[in-house]
């Protein structure tokens, strides 16, 4: 029995091998099918045979672990059944691939492989739930906070349960009952495990839980086990306090006696801070904002009628005291300020004092030091501070600790020591400190995607494209056929030229780093000059651009809806009719639109295309509908491109349908929304 139990413990070591092999085989198979080549068949065969062998061994060790380990319940049963099913299916896939003289069987190979991959993912999900707790792969990475506001919360619910969930439940739940102890319910806590009662009500010293927690970390009975997140001194004191006060599951915090030590600890978990919504400020001066924009400052009101604005000065390397002083007139209205990657230093940071209502401040990759950062101590509303890649050191810890509203601090790649970070988290446990990448979750560091650069998004004949990433020894790969690039895509070695409407996608890759996300940018070729353009109704006077010609002037609108290059329609649809001047063969129509949900601007609800030879009798060609956004995100410009059957025509009608009103989730649900359109291109 002991030998079988030992064999079962190999399961965590071998289970990843068949997963990796089958994922690799599947990717190679997809690649081979795309390239239409048979040169990888022998490699695929070897992979399938090896993967199946390891799947069988993994299944056997898993069954032994389930029988002799601390696992039980429906999840275990489901995982066992899925593992057996996957192993059988893996064998069937291998047989189908090798049955080259049996075409009826071999044609089942790829469908079975696809099913096998789906089953592999679901089986892995069940395994993750067994190891790390139910719903591990779908729940938030962020730990459940220990927080109290008035003292009228149930002590167990507000303080004790979150501690147990964060530090204990992954090993003591309904599917993984280590020591036959379940800590997910009141009944399980009171019942205890195979070593007896978990705690003695009123006596923490004699309680098994407290004894195990306070054992030396090298002791095999120490809890949580080595490698797991350990309890802090405050958390241990809170558990001991709760047990000494009777381990009640119903009493409120205020009903339990509190020593001075406990009062100080509870004060750390007291939610606090200042809220901008409590301020009564008039909306900022529109004329002032316009003047500052004309001077080159990127300023945007958070939403129409909102008293606060955001200023983006990122990547500006020519900032001076005089240039920053121009923003002082907006002082009370600035809630978001982005100075990242600029030439900001300790001398220039003094300007920040003129913005007392800052909520978000981005200083990453600037020359700021702790001396300058300590000047931020007066920002009573600051919630989010980014100091990534600066020379900040331990001297700023007191400033961060004393900022009353601070909720998130980004301190990765600074000179702050781990000891200082630990002290900050001890003093401000509700403060989320992003100090380093958690390799258990994210693996190695991820690269940023490259910039796709060109003089314009619209062109007539051809256009030069370049890629850029300010990072050494990184390889850039790109595609021009709409597919996502990988290491088999085109290696970027210098600018390249396109001569048709193209979606360029690019990715950054470097050995030892996680590849970047794929970035993309669409470039539109406009073959035909439009002789005349007509609108069914006039745009709003505030956003009328140059009239109908705005749609064919080859000047793209930016993410700033006030740049004068957009036609804006409030609670209105619009129809655009293009006259090409003569009959041309067309097969594609593109419309540029803007979305800035915070300013009540949404992409079209639908676009309908029709054509005509005489400008009177139109023939329907195509229509597409689009879902409305489900949250407020940064402003974005998008080309809505519809391919139609090649048609000889002179006139093209584009009907754009607005959502008319804001969706229910919006801060102003049911209020009239806007439709913003720009270039209409026909090819």
169 vs 292, residue with greater confidence: 292
**Is 536 in contact with 474 (CB distance < 8 Å)?**
no
Listed residue (487, 527, 441, 426) closest to 31, CA to CA: 487
Q: Where does the pLDDT of residue 12 fall: very low under 50, low under 70, confident under 90, or very high at 90 and above?
A: low
User: In the 8-state DSSP scheme, what is residue 310?
Assistant: E
For the beta sheet containing 463-468, the strands, ordered from the edge strand earlier in sequence to the opposite edge, are 451-453, 463-468, 496-498
Measured distance CA(657)–CA(605) in Å, rounded: 5
Q: Where does the pLDDT of residue 147 fall: very low under 50, low under 70, confident under 90, or very high at 90 and above?
A: low
Listed residue (548, 545, 572, 542) closest to 656, CA to CA: 572
CATH superfamily of 276-436: Ribonuclease Inhibitor (3.80.10.10)
What is residue 624's predicted lDDT score, i.e. its pLDDT? 95
Least confident interval from 160-164, 212-216, 269-273, 580-584: 269-273
Full DSSP string of 358-380: -SEEE-TTSS-BHHHHGGGGG-T
Listed residue (625, 545, 536) closest to 573, CA to CA: 536
Measured distance CA(107)–CA(109) in Å, rounded: 5
Report pLDDT digits (tens) over 361-371.
999 999 999 99
**Is 595 in contact with 603 (CB distance < 8 Å)?**
yes
Q: Strand 384-386 and strand 360-362: pairing?
A: parallel
Cis peptide before 387 (omega within 30 of 0): no
Q: Which residue has the tokens 């896939």?
A: 93
635 vs 70, residue with greater confidence: 635
Encoding tokens for residue 185? 């319910």
User: Cα angle vertex 346, ends 344, 351, to 5°?
Assistant: 70
What is residue 54's predicted lDDT score, i.e. its pLDDT? 85
Model pTM? 0.40
Out of 3.40.1350.10, 3.40.50.150, 3.90.1640.10, 2.60.120.260, select the CATH number for domain 532-682. Answer: 2.60.120.260
Q: Where does the pLDDT of residue 6 fall: very low under 50, low under 70, confident under 90, or very high at 90 and above?
A: low
What is residue 444's predicted lDDT score, i.e. its pLDDT? 43
What is residue 579's predicted lDDT score, i.e. its pLDDT? 95
Least confident interval from 90-104, 307-321, 494-508, 653-667: 90-104
User: Cα angle vertex 532, ends 529, 536, to 5°?
Assistant: 130
pLDDT of 5 higher than 70: no
What is residue 114's predicted lDDT score, i.e. its pLDDT? 85
Q: Where does the pLDDT of residue 43 fall: very low under 50, low under 70, confident under 90, or very high at 90 and above?
A: confident
Report pLDDT digits (tens) over 525-559.
888 889 999 999 999 998 999 999 999 988 888 88
Measured distance CA(428)–CA(424) in Å, rounded: 6
**Is 306 in contact with 279 (CB distance < 8 Å)?**
no
Chain centroid offset of residue 434 CA? 15
Q: Where does the pLDDT of residue 174 fall: very low under 50, low under 70, confident under 90, or very high at 90 and above?
A: low
pLDDT of 328 higher than 90: no
Q: How many CB atoms lie within 10 A of CB 203?
A: 13
Measured distance CA(259)–CA(70) in Å, rounded: 39
**Is 450 in contact with 468 (CB distance < 8 Å)?**
yes
Least confident interval from 196-210, 335-349, 603-617: 196-210
Encoding tokens for residue 667? 């801060």
pLDDT of 199 higher than 90: no
Encoding tokens for residue 6? 């030992």
Listed residue (369, 372, 424) closest to 402, CA to CA: 424
What is residue 175's predicted lDDT score, i.e. its pLDDT? 61
Q: Where does the pLDDT of residue 409 fall: very low under 50, low under 70, confident under 90, or very high at 90 and above?
A: very high
Share of the chain above pLDDT 70, in %: 89
What is residue 16's predicted lDDT score, i.e. its pLDDT? 77
Q: What is the mean pLDDT of the chain?
A: 84
Q: Where does the pLDDT of residue 72 fall: very low under 50, low under 70, confident under 90, or very high at 90 and above?
A: low
Q: Indicate the SS3 state at residue 290.
A: helix
What is residue 491's predicted lDDT score, i.e. its pLDDT? 94
What is residue 441's predicted lDDT score, i.e. its pLDDT? 37
Measured distance CA(559)–CA(596) in Å, rounded: 8
Full DSSP string of 210-259: HHHHTS-TTSTT-SSPTTSPPPPHHHHHHHHHHHHTT--SS-BGGGS---
pLDDT of 648 higher than 90: yes
Listed residue (155, 213, 163, 159) closest to 183, CA to CA: 163
Measured distance CA(162)–CA(142) in Å, rounded: 12
pLDDT of 218 higher than 70: no
**Is 666 in contact with 599 (CB distance < 8 Å)?**
no
Listed residue (574, 587, 579, 586) closest to 614, CA to CA: 579
Encoding tokens for residue 401? 């600790």
Q: Where does the pLDDT of residue 223 fall: very low under 50, low under 70, confident under 90, or very high at 90 and above?
A: confident
Least confident interval from 284-293, 328-337, 426-435, 602-611: 426-435
pLDDT of 227 higher than 70: no
Measured distance CA(400)–CA(101) in Å, rounded: 71
Chain centroid offset of residue 470 CA? 23
What is residue 210's predicted lDDT score, i.e. its pLDDT? 86
Q: Where does the pLDDT of residue 396 fall: very low under 50, low under 70, confident under 90, or very high at 90 and above?
A: very high
Query: Can you tell me the mean pLDDT for 76-87?
Result: 78
Chain centroid offset of residue 354 CA? 32
Could you please state the CATH topology (level 3) that the domain comprising 451-525 is classified under.
Immunoglobulin-like (2.60.40)
Q: Which residue has the tokens 């198979």?
A: 29
Least confident interval from 121-125, 183-187, 265-269, 460-464: 121-125
620 vs 80, residue with greater confidence: 620
Measured distance CA(167)–CA(595) in Å, rounded: 43
Q: Where does the pLDDT of residue 476 fall: very low under 50, low under 70, confident under 90, or very high at 90 and above?
A: very high
| Strand boundaries in 526-566, DSSP class E | 532-535, 545-548
CA dihedral 431, 432, 433, 436 (to 10 degrees): 160
Query: Can you tell me the mean pLDDT for 546-573?
Result: 90
């Amino acid at each position: 029995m002991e030998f079988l139990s030992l064999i079962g413990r190999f399961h965590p070591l071998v289970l990843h091998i068949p997963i990796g092999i089958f994922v690799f085989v599947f990717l190679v198979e997809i690649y081979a099918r795309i390239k239409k080549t048979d040169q990888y068949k022998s490699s695929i065969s070897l992979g399938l045979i090896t993967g199946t062998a390891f799947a069988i061994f993994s299944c056997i060790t898993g069954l032994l672990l389930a029988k002799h380990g601390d696992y039980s319940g429906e999840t275990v049963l489901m995982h066992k059944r899925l593992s057996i099913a996957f192993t059988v299916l893996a064998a069937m896939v291998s047989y189908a691939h090798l049955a080259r003289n049996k075409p009826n069987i071999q044609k089942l190979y790829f469908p079975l492989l696809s099913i096998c991959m789906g089953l592999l993912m679901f089986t892995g999900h069940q395994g993750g739930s067994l190891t790390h707790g139910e719903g591990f792969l779908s729940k938030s990475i962020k730990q459940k906070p220990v927080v109290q506001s008035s003292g009228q919360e149930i002590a167990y619910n507000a303080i004790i349960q979150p501690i147990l969930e964060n530090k204990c439940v992954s090993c003591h739940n309904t599917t993984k009952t280590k020591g036959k102890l379940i800590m997910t319910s009141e009944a399980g806590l009171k019942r205890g495990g195979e070593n007896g009662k978990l705690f003695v009500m009123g006596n923490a010293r004699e309680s098994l839980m407290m004894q195990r927690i306070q054992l030396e970390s090298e002791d095999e009975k120490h809890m949580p086990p080595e490698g797991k997140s350990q309890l802090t001194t405050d958390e241990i004191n809170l558990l001991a306090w709760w047990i000494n006060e009777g381990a009640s599951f119903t009493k409120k915090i205020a009903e339990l006696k509190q020593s001075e030590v406990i009062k100080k600890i509870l004060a750390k978990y007291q939610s606090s801070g200042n809220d901008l919504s409590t301020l009564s400020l008039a909306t900022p001066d529109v004329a002032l904002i316009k003047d500052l924009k004309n001077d080159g400052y990127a300023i945007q009101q958070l939403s129409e009628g909102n008293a606060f604005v955001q200023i983006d000065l990122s990547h500006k390397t020519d900032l001076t005291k005089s240039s920053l002083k121009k923003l002082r007139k907006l002082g009370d209205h600035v809630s978001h300020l982005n100075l990242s990657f600029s030439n900001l230093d300790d001398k220039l940071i003094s300007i920040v004092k003129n913005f007392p209502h800052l909520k978000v401040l981005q200083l990453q990759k600037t020359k700021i030091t702790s001396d300058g950062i300590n000047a931020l101590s007066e920002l009573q509303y600051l919630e989010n501070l980014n100091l990534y890649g600066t020379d900040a050191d331990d001297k700023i810890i007191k400033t961060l600790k004393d900022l009353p509203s601070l909720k998130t601090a980004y301190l990765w790649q600074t000179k702050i020591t781990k000891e200082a970070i630990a002290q900050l988290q001890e003093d401000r446990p509700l403060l989320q400190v992003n100090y380093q990448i958690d390799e258990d979750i994210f693996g190695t560091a991820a690269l940023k995607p490259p910039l796709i650069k060109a003089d314009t998004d619209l062109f007539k004949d051809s256009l030069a494209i370049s890629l850029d990433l300010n990072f050494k020894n990184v390889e850039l790969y790109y595609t021009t056929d709409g597919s996502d690039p990988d290491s088999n895509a085109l290696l970027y070695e210098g600018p390249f030229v396109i001569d048709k409407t193209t979606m360029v996608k690019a990715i950054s890759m470097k050995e030892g780093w996680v590849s970047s996300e794929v970035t993309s940018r669409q470039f539109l070729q406009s073959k035909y000059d439009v002789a005349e353009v007509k609108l069914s109704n006039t745009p709003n006077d505030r956003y009328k651009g140059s009239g109908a010609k705005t749609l064919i002037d080859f000047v793209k609108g930016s993410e700033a809806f006030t740049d004068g290059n957009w036609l804006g329609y409030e609670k209105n649809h619009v129809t655009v009719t293009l006259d090409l001047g003569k009959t041309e063969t067309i097969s594609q129509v593109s419309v540029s639109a803007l979305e800035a949900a915070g300013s009540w601007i949404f992409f079209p609800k639908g676009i309908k295309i029709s054509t005509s030879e005489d400008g009177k009798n139109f023939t329907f060609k195509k229509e597409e509908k689009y879902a409305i956004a489900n949250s407020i995100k940064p402003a974005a410009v998008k080309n809505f491109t519809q391919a139609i059957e090649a048609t000889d025509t002179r006139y093209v009608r584009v009907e754009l349908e607005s959502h008319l009103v804001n969706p229910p989730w919006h801060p102003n649900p049911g209020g009239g929304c806007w439709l913003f359109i720009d270039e209409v291109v026909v090819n």
